[in-house]
Structure 1
Amino acid sequence: MDSNASSHSSQQEKKQAYQQAAEWYLLMQEQPLTAQQQAEFEAWQQVPLHQQVWQNVRMFDDKFQRLPKQQIARTVQHFDAKLPKQAAQLCIVLCSALGLLYVGQGVRQQDYFPEIWSFDPVEIYHTERGMQQHLTLQDGSQVWLNSNSKIRVKYNSQQRRIELAKGEIYIETHKDTFKRQLSVRTSHGDLLALGTVFNVRYSAEKTELLVRQGIVRILTKDRQTQQDIPAQHAATFNQDKISPKSYQATHMLWRQQLLVVHSMPLGQFIKELTPHYQGKIQLEPALDEILISGSYSTQDVEKTLSIVANTHHLNIQVKPQKIQLAQ
């Protein structure tokens, strides 16, 4: 079998797996699986390709859960009225409905929509508030996820790509045997790693880059702006503009669960701590501009804020899932 025929066969297998996954997904939405159906589903998942595809379907399901149920029903009914109910089309209905809902709702780019038609295997990793995670990818690259972060890892024969959907990551790249370039993608553009160690923080408004070693090339989403950022330098960018940023190695100490600041307004300090706390932190507006300096732990936010309150003679109230700071 030649390479083209093999590739075509592989794509057909992936499409069939997606169709089967869509059938399982819709079946589970209708009612709980019977014992026999559960056994059949578990047997189906024993195939590695099926596991990868099911993980992707669960990712789509995560998107659905964020959207109003009434609009989901209306959109699915719209497709249901126009398309026959053959199993081969269920996946198209599912993904098309999701795409329309996503655009129609104007979902913020805090967790942007992935490419759903590439059929590339996707590995998804995420951390909850107050948690961090260290990964070794299949090529040997090391990735650390900060608190409340999420990535999608897409490796195929041509590329090594990490999609940063939210939060912050630190990467130590590894030389690839197949000479595939490693890139990090956010909704603002791509970061191309040229043998490097770097840190990326993503928010809806911008992506922040700190390069510790090597060079990272920024390509904004519109592909009209690019810039190489060398070691010991930093930058921020959005979809069409790249701006220089002061390089501070202390910003990468989050891996040691440390927040090191110098003359940072208390309001901003609270924002930096919030992803590491399971509950809510309330700050009296009059205290926003108090300047904070020092090295603080992100592992025990209550203790950190108690130290800040004591240093600046503030009142602190600690309740279940809530901390309040006032004069």
Structure 2
Amino acid sequence: MPANQSGAENIGQETDSDAIEAAAGWMARLLADDATEQDSINCQQWRDQSSLHEQAWQRMCQITGKFASLPKGTGIQVLEKVSQSVVSRRRFLNVLALAGIGVTATWLGASQTRLGRSLQAQYRTGPDETRTFTLEDGTRLTLNIDTAVDVDFSAEKRQIQLHQGEILIKTGHESPRRQFLVTTHFGQLIALGTEFCVRQYKHYARVAVIDGAVEAYAASGVKPQRVDAGQQTRFDKTMIAPPEPLQNAAISWRHGKLVAEGMRVADFIEEIGRYRPGFTLYDSAVANLTISGVFSLQDTDLALQSLASSLSVELQYRTTYWVKVIPAR
């Protein structure tokens, strides 16, 4: 839980700014991947400590325009219901940044949470950048937006810990006796002289193999699955799906494009929204429409305009940072 908010002894020393920053931390905490009902209870207790806290919480609701003045007693289930059309915590943090409100690793539990570990990772990217690194063995490691990894090379192994986001790896040529591993929240991948992408979602991870092969291991120890070039699969802690043909959408980000092949509008908006500041939403009435084409991830306004010109939908803007895809009128 956010620091310095477990008791009431410091309340008298708090300023409005302190309370606003704490409220921002609580919102971000409740949107973290590993948020629990206890976090919601602790947040409620913090709100109940003083009228200053409750006012700060309601002000944050107004700033983000997302939680619409949540009533007292709101739990994580309600938070998820209200924010179901907003697909990532990254966008929420973006909005806080736009409002001039920072969120520190201390608020989010520092190294005790996934987000905290991500903030302290060796290699990371922001919400609007990709970066490529050459590691000591010649491996090329590309981080997509909002990605965090740690690298651990030893005499026995080469290991990359993916905390969040998406990476493209082209392994260096080295003795196979020193395995190349990618560890996710859901399991581990062993590279067999390969080029591949790994993306970590909230409830599973996906691996897409461009060249060579990868062996996927779920955390539960079920039988591993080999994924060859031209294939992809998804896995969580308990299962590994059978490999399927590689979809261009899984790897096209490396060229700054989104390749949609009969993609649902809901999925399209989720992808485009990753590359836009603020909120990118859709009406449930258009969620299952499908779109095909190649769209720019560098110019998401153009991508959205292309969507609107291709389907019977239109774009509803409230601000530069708030857009919703709705049925055409």
Give the structure 2 partner of residue 207 of structure 1: 205
Query: Aligned pair 1:133/2:68, yes or no?
Result: no
Per the normalisation by structure 1, the TM-score is 0.62
Contact 1:210 1:247 in 2 (8 A): no
Distance in 2, Cα, partners of 1:225 & 1:113? 31
Residue identity matched to 1:222 = S
Deviation of the 1:247 alpha carbon: 2.2
Give the structure 1 partner of residue 26 of structure 2: none
Residue identity matched to 1:292 = I
Q: Give ranges in structure 2 of 5+ residues lacking alignment.
A: 10-35, 42-108, 114-119
Q: How does 1:34-45 map to 2 (within 5 A)?
A: none
Deviation of the 1:69 alpha carbon: 3.9
Distance in 1, Cα, partners of 2:181 & 2:112? 15
Aligned CA distance change for structure 1 residues 69 and 246 (closer, same or farther; 3 Å): farther
Residue identity matched to 1:275 = R
Deviation of the 1:310 alpha carbon: 2.1
Distance in 2, Cα, partners of 1:70 & 1:186? 31
SS at match of 1:244: coil
Deviation of the 1:72 alpha carbon: 9.6
Distance in 1, Cα, partners of 2:301 & 2:231? 33
Give the structure 2 partner of residue 58 of structure 1: none
Deviation of the 1:242 alpha carbon: 0.8
Query: Aligned pair 1:226/2:224, yes or no?
Result: yes
Deviation of the 1:208 alpha carbon: 0.7
Give the structure 2 partner of residue 282 of structure 1: 281
Give the structure 2 partner of residue 323 of structure 1: 323
Give the structure 1 partner of residue 28 of structure 2: none
Distance in 2, Cα, partners of 1:67 & 1:225? 40
SS at match of 1:239: coil
Contact 2:209 2:246 in 1 (8 A): no
Query: Aligned pair 1:309/2:244, yes or no?
Result: no
Give the structure 2 partner of residue 18 of structure 1: none
Q: How does 1:127-276 map to 2 (within 5 A)?
A: 127-176=125-174, 179-250=177-248, 251-276=250-275
Contact 2:171 2:195 in 1 (8 A): yes
Deviations 1:10-45 (A, max 9, x none): xxxxxxxxxxxxxxxxxxxxxxxxxxxxxxxxxxxx
Give the structure 2 partner of residue 94 of structure 1: none
How many pairs align? 225
Over aligned residue pairs, what C-alpha RMSD do you find?
Answer: 3.0
Residue identity matched to 1:322 = W
Deviation of the 1:156 alpha carbon: 2.1
Aligned CA distance change for structure 1 residues 287 and 222 (closer, same or farther; 3 Å): same
Aligned CA distance change for structure 1 residues 274 and 178 (closer, same or farther; 3 Å): same
Per the normalisation by structure 2, the TM-score is 0.62
Deviation of the 1:188 alpha carbon: 0.8
Q: Percent identity?
A: 26
Higher helix share: 1
Aligned CA distance change for structure 1 residues 225 and 113 (closer, same or farther; 3 Å): farther
Distance in 2, Cα, partners of 1:161 & 1:114? 21
Deviations 1:140-192 (A, max 9, x none): 10111112211111122222111111111111001236942110000111101
Aligned CA distance change for structure 1 residues 67 and 179 (closer, same or farther; 3 Å): farther
Residue identity matched to 2:273 = T
Deviations 1:180-205 (A, max 9, x none): 21100001111011111111111121
Contact 1:130 1:299 in 2 (8 A): no
Deviation of the 1:256 alpha carbon: 0.6
Q: How does 1:22-101 map to 2 (within 5 A)?
A: 67=2, 69-71=4-6
Aligned CA distance change for structure 1 residues 198 and 114 (closer, same or farther; 3 Å): farther
Deviation of the 1:114 alpha carbon: 8.6
Residue identity matched to 1:274 = G
Deviations 1:39-60 (A, max 9, x none): xxxxxxxxxxxxxxxxxxxxxx
Deviations 1:234-258 (A, max 9, x none): 2111112111242225121111111
Contact 2:286 2:313 in 1 (8 A): no
Distance in 2, Cα, partners of 1:234 & 1:259? 17
Aligned CA distance change for structure 1 residues 224 and 313 (closer, same or farther; 3 Å): closer
Q: Give ranges in structure 1 of 5+ residues lacking alignment.
A: 1-65, 75-100, 116-121
Aligned CA distance change for structure 1 residues 215 and 305 (closer, same or farther; 3 Å): same
Deviation of the 1:291 alpha carbon: 0.9
Contact 2:121 2:148 in 1 (8 A): no
Aligned CA distance change for structure 1 residues 69 and 265 (closer, same or farther; 3 Å): farther
SS at match of 2:245: coil
Deviation of the 1:230 alpha carbon: 1.9
Give the structure 2 partner of residue 299 of structure 1: 298
Give the structure 2 partner of residue 57 of structure 1: none
Residue identity matched to 2:163 = A
Aligned CA distance change for structure 1 residues 161 and 275 (closer, same or farther; 3 Å): same
Give the structure 1 partner of residue 106 of structure 2: none
